[in-house]
Chains A and B, each alone.
Chain A
Amino acid sequence: MDISGHGRHGQIHNGAARAVTGPEWQGTDTTIGSAPRLYDAVHLHDDDLADAKWLPTFTLSVPPDARSGIYAVRLSTEEEEVALSVVVGPSPQSSSPVLFVVPTLTWLAYANFDSGERHHIGLSLYDSHSDGSPNYYASQRKPTSSTWPDAYFESEKTGGGSVPQMDPSLPGIAENATHLVMADLYVIHWLEHLGI
């Protein structure tokens, strides 16, 4: 909002970095509300993306008796297919003694991790913007390729990056599939194997 009286109000799109600290900020105030005068700027990036503003193209109703778990919605065209992870929680009438909480916020934080040439689909919290500054925001409202249930992350030894992976017999999967969606699928599979 323009407070000069000239009415030159603006609107920020795509989730630019807000509350950028100014030169007087000493690190003692960590929220803008406690010392707004220390926060001076908005940082715009050419690869900010908090909400792609896609309109729904289909909706899915989960049957009330559906078994809880991690499901995939597979979307395909003639050229490619993507699989989107969907967590179905337990029925309110569930009598199971054990609850598994799926770390969906962590999935989102890492979504598109090290996406390299794919800045247009939004960055993870571990990526830098094209100008080298860090990304502050994770969001559900953008493409999230690395939350595919059949993707896993390469181990840190090999420098990161997400690689589509569906064949459990391929070498390296034991150390690579220890993270996020793949790891959670393994744990749930094991718990079900144990009858828990």
Chain B
Amino acid sequence: MGDEHLHEHGSDALIPYSAVICAGHHEYWTTEMLDALEIYLEAGGTFSTWLETVLTGPPR
């Protein structure tokens, strides 16, 4: 899935997945994308970004 899909569909695009991975060089986030990720993490999702740091939400 590309950034545009996440921007357009928000957290609905993330909720079906146990884990979301962003890797490489992922440094342009729209407000809608960040909101989607926040909702996903609050719902218990796990997010991993491998650029320099790893952030994880509570396991579900």
Residue numbers in B under 8 Å from A52 (CB-CB)? none
CB-CB under 8 A from B23, the residues of chain A are 100, 183-184, 187
Q: Which residues of B contact A98 (CB under 8 A)?
A: 17-21
Most buried by B among A94, A103, A109: A103
Contact A102 B27 (CB under 8 A): no
Interface residue tally of chain B, by bracket?
20 to 34
B17 touches A103 (CB 8 A): no
Partner of B27, one of A103, A104, A184, A187: A103
- The reply to whether the CB of A87 lies closer than 8 angstroms to some CB of chain B is yes
Given contacts A103-B3, A104-B4, A105-B30, contact A97 B17 (CB under 8 A): yes
Chain A hits for B30, CB < 8 A: 105
Which A residues contact B (CB, under 8 angstroms)?
A: 68, 87, 89-90, 94, 96-106, 108-110, 178-180, 183-184, 187, 191
Could you tell me the distance in whole angstroms from the C-beta of A20 to the nearest C-beta in chain B? 22
Partner of A103, one of B16, B19, B25: B25
The reply to whether A89 and B1 contact each other, CB–CB distance below 8 Å, is yes
Report yes or no: B19 in contact with A179, Cβ–Cβ below 8 A.
no
Q: Say yes or no: is B24 at the interface (Cβ < 8 Å to chain A).
A: yes
- Chain A residues, Cβ within 8 Å of B24: 103, 106, 178-180, 183-184, 187
Tell me whether B25 and A99 are in contact (CB under 8 A): no
B19 touches A101 (CB 8 A): no
